[in-house]
Protein backbone atom coordinates (compact mmCIF):
# COMPACT_ATOMS: atom_id res chain seq x y z
CA UNK A 1 0.00 0.00 0.00
CA UNK A 2 1.47 3.35 -1.04
CA UNK A 3 1.95 6.10 1.53
CA UNK A 4 0.19 9.44 1.81
CA UNK A 5 1.98 12.10 -0.25
CA UNK A 6 1.98 15.45 1.54
CA UNK A 7 2.86 18.94 0.30
CA UNK A 8 3.80 21.76 2.70
CA UNK A 9 2.83 25.38 1.93
CA UNK A 10 3.98 28.15 4.27
CA UNK A 11 5.97 31.34 3.77
CA UNK A 12 8.04 30.57 6.89
CA UNK A 13 10.79 28.05 6.21
CA UNK A 14 11.03 27.21 9.91
CA UNK A 15 7.37 26.16 10.01
CA UNK A 16 7.81 23.96 6.95
CA UNK A 17 10.91 22.38 8.49
CA UNK A 18 9.05 21.60 11.69
CA UNK A 19 6.21 19.90 9.87
CA UNK A 20 8.63 18.00 7.65
CA UNK A 21 10.54 16.65 10.66
CA UNK A 22 7.33 15.46 12.29
CA UNK A 23 5.92 13.85 9.16
CA UNK A 24 9.18 12.29 7.98
CA UNK A 25 9.25 10.22 11.17
CA UNK A 26 5.72 8.92 10.58
CA UNK A 27 5.35 5.59 8.72
CA UNK A 28 3.09 5.76 5.69
CA UNK A 29 3.51 9.50 5.15
CA UNK A 30 5.92 11.09 2.68
CA UNK A 31 6.60 14.82 2.25
CA UNK A 32 6.90 15.28 -1.51
CA UNK A 33 7.45 19.01 -1.79
CA UNK A 34 7.30 22.48 -0.27
CA UNK A 35 6.06 25.89 -1.40
CA UNK A 36 6.43 29.38 0.06
CA UNK A 37 3.30 31.02 -1.42
CA UNK A 38 0.08 30.26 -3.25
CA UNK A 39 1.53 30.39 -6.75
CA UNK A 40 4.23 27.91 -5.79
CA UNK A 41 1.55 25.71 -4.21
CA UNK A 42 -0.33 25.52 -7.50
CA UNK A 43 2.88 24.57 -9.27
CA UNK A 44 3.65 22.00 -6.58
CA UNK A 45 0.28 20.34 -7.14
CA UNK A 46 0.84 20.34 -10.89
CA UNK A 47 4.29 18.79 -10.72
CA UNK A 48 4.18 16.26 -7.87
CA UNK A 49 0.43 15.61 -7.28
CA UNK A 50 0.34 15.37 -3.47
CA UNK A 51 -2.58 13.61 -1.80
CA UNK A 52 -2.83 16.16 1.01
CA UNK A 53 -1.71 19.79 1.10
CA UNK A 54 -1.00 21.69 4.32
CA UNK A 55 -1.84 25.26 3.31
CA UNK A 56 -0.93 28.44 5.18
CA UNK A 57 -3.39 31.29 4.69
CA UNK A 58 -1.54 34.56 5.18
CA UNK A 59 1.26 34.55 2.59
CA UNK A 60 2.68 37.27 0.31
CA UNK A 61 1.79 37.53 -3.38
CA UNK A 62 -0.92 34.83 -3.64
CA UNK A 63 -2.48 33.89 -0.30
CA UNK A 64 -3.79 30.51 0.74
CA UNK A 65 -7.43 31.35 0.04
CA UNK A 66 -6.83 32.17 -3.61
CA UNK A 67 -4.53 29.17 -4.00
CA UNK A 68 -7.04 26.84 -2.34
CA UNK A 69 -9.81 27.97 -4.69
CA UNK A 70 -7.59 27.48 -7.74
CA UNK A 71 -6.36 24.06 -6.63
CA UNK A 72 -9.79 22.78 -5.55
CA UNK A 73 -11.09 23.35 -9.10
CA UNK A 74 -8.50 20.99 -10.58
CA UNK A 75 -9.51 17.41 -11.44
CA UNK A 76 -8.13 15.06 -8.83
CA UNK A 77 -7.30 17.95 -6.49
CA UNK A 78 -5.55 17.07 -3.22
CA UNK A 79 -7.31 17.41 0.09
CA UNK A 80 -6.32 20.73 1.64
CA UNK A 81 -5.77 21.36 5.34
CA UNK A 82 -5.59 25.05 6.18
CA UNK A 83 -2.96 26.17 8.67
CA UNK A 84 -3.94 29.11 10.87
CA UNK A 85 -2.56 30.87 13.93
CA UNK A 86 -5.93 31.57 15.51
CA UNK A 87 -8.86 29.26 16.13
CA UNK A 88 -11.90 30.22 14.04
CA UNK A 89 -9.84 32.65 11.98
CA UNK A 90 -12.08 34.29 9.35
CA UNK A 91 -9.38 33.59 6.76
CA UNK A 92 -9.47 29.90 7.59
CA UNK A 93 -13.23 29.99 7.17
CA UNK A 94 -12.88 31.61 3.76
CA UNK A 95 -10.40 28.93 2.74
CA UNK A 96 -12.82 26.20 3.79
CA UNK A 97 -15.50 27.80 1.65
CA UNK A 98 -12.97 27.87 -1.18
CA UNK A 99 -12.57 24.10 -1.02
CA UNK A 100 -10.38 23.12 1.93
CA UNK A 101 -11.30 20.04 3.95
CA UNK A 102 -10.59 21.55 7.35
CA UNK A 103 -8.14 23.60 9.34
CA UNK A 104 -5.39 23.10 11.89
CA UNK A 105 -3.77 25.47 14.33
CA UNK A 106 -0.06 25.94 13.69
CA UNK A 107 0.73 24.79 17.22
CA UNK A 108 -1.08 21.49 16.60
CA UNK A 109 0.37 18.51 18.43
CA UNK A 110 2.27 16.03 16.23
CA UNK A 111 -0.26 13.24 16.83
CA UNK A 112 -3.14 15.56 15.92
CA UNK A 113 -1.37 16.65 12.74
CA UNK A 114 -0.82 13.06 11.64
CA UNK A 115 -4.41 12.10 12.53
CA UNK A 116 -5.81 15.03 10.55
CA UNK A 117 -3.76 14.13 7.48
CA UNK A 118 -4.92 10.52 7.63
CA UNK A 119 -8.51 11.67 8.17
CA UNK A 120 -8.72 13.94 5.11
CA UNK A 121 -6.85 11.40 3.00
CA UNK A 122 -9.62 8.94 3.86
CA UNK A 123 -12.20 11.42 2.56
CA UNK A 124 -13.43 12.82 5.86
CA UNK A 125 -13.13 16.36 7.18
CA UNK A 126 -10.54 17.34 9.79
CA UNK A 127 -13.06 19.67 11.37
CA UNK A 128 -16.03 18.86 13.50
CA UNK A 129 -19.37 19.83 11.94
CA UNK A 130 -20.08 21.59 15.23
CA UNK A 131 -17.06 23.80 14.66
CA UNK A 132 -18.28 24.55 11.15
CA UNK A 133 -21.68 25.57 12.52
CA UNK A 134 -19.95 27.83 15.03
CA UNK A 135 -17.92 29.41 12.23
CA UNK A 136 -21.11 30.01 10.24
CA UNK A 137 -22.65 31.74 13.24
CA UNK A 138 -19.61 33.91 13.90
CA UNK A 139 -19.29 35.09 10.32
CA UNK A 140 -22.94 35.02 9.25
CA UNK A 141 -22.95 38.78 8.67
CA UNK A 142 -20.27 38.31 5.99
CA UNK A 143 -22.12 35.51 4.19
CA UNK A 144 -24.99 35.71 1.71
CA UNK A 145 -28.22 35.46 3.64
CA UNK A 146 -29.61 31.90 3.73
CA UNK A 147 -32.60 31.55 1.45
CA UNK A 148 -35.83 30.18 2.98
CA UNK A 149 -37.66 27.15 1.62
CA UNK A 150 -34.62 25.69 -0.11
CA UNK A 151 -33.75 28.76 -2.18
CA UNK A 152 -30.13 28.90 -3.34
CA UNK A 153 -27.59 31.50 -2.34
CA UNK A 154 -26.39 31.75 -5.89
CA UNK A 155 -23.39 33.98 -5.44
CA UNK A 156 -21.76 31.61 -2.95
CA UNK A 157 -22.52 28.23 -4.49
CA UNK A 158 -19.29 27.75 -6.36
CA UNK A 159 -17.06 27.92 -3.30
CA UNK A 160 -19.25 25.81 -1.07
CA UNK A 161 -20.34 23.22 -3.62
CA UNK A 162 -23.98 24.27 -3.31
CA UNK A 163 -24.44 24.73 -7.03
CA UNK A 164 -24.99 21.02 -7.55
CA UNK A 165 -28.33 21.57 -9.24
CA UNK A 166 -29.34 24.38 -6.84
CA UNK A 167 -32.72 24.20 -5.14
CA UNK A 168 -33.88 21.48 -7.54
CA UNK A 169 -31.28 19.09 -6.12
CA UNK A 170 -32.34 19.88 -2.56
CA UNK A 171 -35.94 19.26 -3.59
CA UNK A 172 -34.89 15.94 -5.13
CA UNK A 173 -33.61 14.62 -1.82
CA UNK A 174 -35.74 12.01 -0.13
CA UNK A 175 -37.40 13.07 3.14
CA UNK A 176 -34.93 10.93 5.06
CA UNK A 177 -31.93 12.42 3.20
CA UNK A 178 -33.21 15.91 3.92
CA UNK A 179 -33.62 15.07 7.62
CA UNK A 180 -30.09 13.70 7.77
CA UNK A 181 -28.69 16.75 5.94
CA UNK A 182 -30.31 19.03 8.52
CA UNK A 183 -28.99 16.87 11.37
CA UNK A 184 -25.47 16.97 9.90
CA UNK A 185 -25.82 20.74 9.80
CA UNK A 186 -26.71 20.67 13.49
CA UNK A 187 -23.42 18.89 14.17
CA UNK A 188 -24.46 15.27 14.67
CA UNK A 189 -21.89 12.57 13.91
CA UNK A 190 -22.77 9.14 12.50
CA UNK A 191 -23.39 7.55 15.90
CA UNK A 192 -25.70 10.39 16.92
CA UNK A 193 -27.50 10.23 13.56
CA UNK A 194 -28.08 6.51 14.05
CA UNK A 195 -29.52 7.13 17.51
CA UNK A 196 -31.80 9.98 16.40
CA UNK A 197 -33.26 8.15 13.40
CA UNK A 198 -33.16 4.60 14.82
CA UNK A 199 -30.86 3.42 12.03
CA UNK A 200 -27.73 1.30 11.93
CA UNK A 201 -24.48 3.19 11.43
CA UNK A 202 -23.96 1.39 8.12
CA UNK A 203 -27.33 2.71 6.91
CA UNK A 204 -26.37 6.20 8.07
CA UNK A 205 -23.11 5.98 6.14
CA UNK A 206 -25.09 4.98 3.03
CA UNK A 207 -27.36 8.03 3.41
CA UNK A 208 -24.38 10.34 3.97
CA UNK A 209 -22.64 8.91 0.91
CA UNK A 210 -25.73 9.57 -1.19
CA UNK A 211 -25.92 13.14 0.09
CA UNK A 212 -22.29 13.74 -0.82
CA UNK A 213 -22.94 12.39 -4.30
CA UNK A 214 -26.23 14.17 -4.94
CA UNK A 215 -24.98 17.53 -3.67
CA UNK A 216 -21.55 17.16 -5.28
CA UNK A 217 -19.94 17.79 -1.89
CA UNK A 218 -16.41 16.64 -1.12
CA UNK A 219 -16.99 16.16 2.61
CA UNK A 220 -19.32 16.78 5.54
CA UNK A 221 -18.08 20.33 6.02
CA UNK A 222 -19.51 21.17 2.62
CA UNK A 223 -22.82 19.52 3.60
CA UNK A 224 -23.07 21.82 6.64
CA UNK A 225 -22.44 24.88 4.48
CA UNK A 226 -24.96 23.73 1.85
CA UNK A 227 -27.61 23.19 4.53
CA UNK A 228 -26.93 26.68 5.86
CA UNK A 229 -26.99 28.36 2.46
CA UNK A 230 -30.29 26.72 1.53
CA UNK A 231 -31.97 27.89 4.73
CA UNK A 232 -32.45 24.39 6.13
CA UNK A 233 -31.07 25.06 9.60
CA UNK A 234 -33.09 26.62 12.42
CA UNK A 235 -31.58 29.75 13.93
CA UNK A 236 -30.50 27.95 17.11
CA UNK A 237 -29.22 24.78 15.42
CA UNK A 238 -25.63 25.41 16.46
CA UNK A 239 -26.35 26.93 19.85
CA UNK A 240 -24.78 24.05 21.72
CA UNK A 241 -21.71 23.85 19.56
CA UNK A 242 -18.73 22.89 21.60
CA UNK A 243 -16.20 24.74 19.47
CA UNK A 244 -13.72 21.88 19.85
CA UNK A 245 -11.99 20.77 16.65
CA UNK A 246 -12.06 17.07 15.92
CA UNK A 247 -10.92 14.72 13.24
CA UNK A 248 -13.53 12.64 11.51
CA UNK A 249 -16.62 11.35 13.24
The architecture of the domain spanning 4-126 is 3-Layer(aba) Sandwich (3.40)
**Which phi and psi (to 5°) does residue 104 adopt?**
-130, 145
Distance CA 177, CA 5 (A): 34
**Which phi and psi (to 5°) does residue 151 adopt?**
-70, 150
> Where does CATH 3.40.50.2300 sit in the chain?
4-126
Question: If we measure between CA atoms, which residue out of 241, 243, 2 comes closest to residue 121?
Answer: 2
Distance CA 4, CA 60 (A): 28
- What's the CATH fold of domain 130-229? Arc Repressor Mutant, subunit A (1.10.10)
| Structure confidence at residue 245 as a pLDDT band (50, 70, 90) | very low
| Structure confidence at residue 149 as a pLDDT band (50, 70, 90) | very low
Q: What percent of the chain has pLDDT over 90?
A: 40
**Residue 87 confidence (pLDDT):** 61
User: Of 67-81, 122-136, 174-188, which range is least confident?
Assistant: 122-136
DSSP per-residue codes, 123-179:
T--BS-HHHHHHHHHHTGGGSPPPPGGG---GGGHHHHTTTSSHHHHHHHS-HHHHH
Is the pLDDT score of 62 beyond 70? yes
User: Of 128-132, 157-161, 163-167, which range is least confident?
Assistant: 157-161
pLDDT tens digits for range 172-198: 899 999 999 999 888 788 888 999 999
Is the pLDDT score of 51 beyond 90? yes
What integer is the mean pLDDT of 37-44? 96
Is the pLDDT score of 128 beyond 50? yes
Burial classification of residue 72, based on how many CB atoms lie within 10 Å of its CB (0-12 exposed, 13-18 middle, 19 or more buried): buried
More confident residue, 133 or 143: 133
Question: If we measure between CA atoms, which residue out of 168, 171, 199 comes closest to residue 183?
Answer: 199
Question: Which CA distances in Å does 216 have to 32, 71, 191, 209?
Answer: 29, 17, 23, 10
Q: Are 33 and 61 in contact (CB under 8 A)?
A: no
User: Of 85-94, 100-109, 217-226, which range is least confident?
Assistant: 85-94
Is the pLDDT score of 68 beyond 50? yes
More confident residue, 171 or 4: 4
Average pLDDT, the chain: 79
| Structure confidence at residue 204 as a pLDDT band (50, 70, 90) | very high
What integer is the mean pLDDT of 44-52? 96
> Where does CATH 1.10.10.10 sit in the chain?
130-229
Is the pLDDT score of 65 beyond 50? yes
**Residue 222 confidence (pLDDT):** 79
**Residue 10 confidence (pLDDT):** 95
Question: Which CA distances in Å does 226 have to 32, 133, 155, 220?
Answer: 33, 11, 13, 10
Does an H or E element contain 9, and which?
A: strand 4-9
Question: Which CA distances in Å does 231 have to 72, 105, 221?
Answer: 25, 30, 16
Amino acid sequence: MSGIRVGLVDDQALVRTGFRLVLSAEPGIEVVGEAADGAQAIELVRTVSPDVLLMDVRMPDMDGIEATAAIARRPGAPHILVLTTFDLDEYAFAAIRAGASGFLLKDVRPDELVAAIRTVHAGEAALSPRVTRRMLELFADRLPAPQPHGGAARDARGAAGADAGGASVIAALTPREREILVAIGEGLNNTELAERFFLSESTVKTHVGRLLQKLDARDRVRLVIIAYEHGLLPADAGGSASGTPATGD
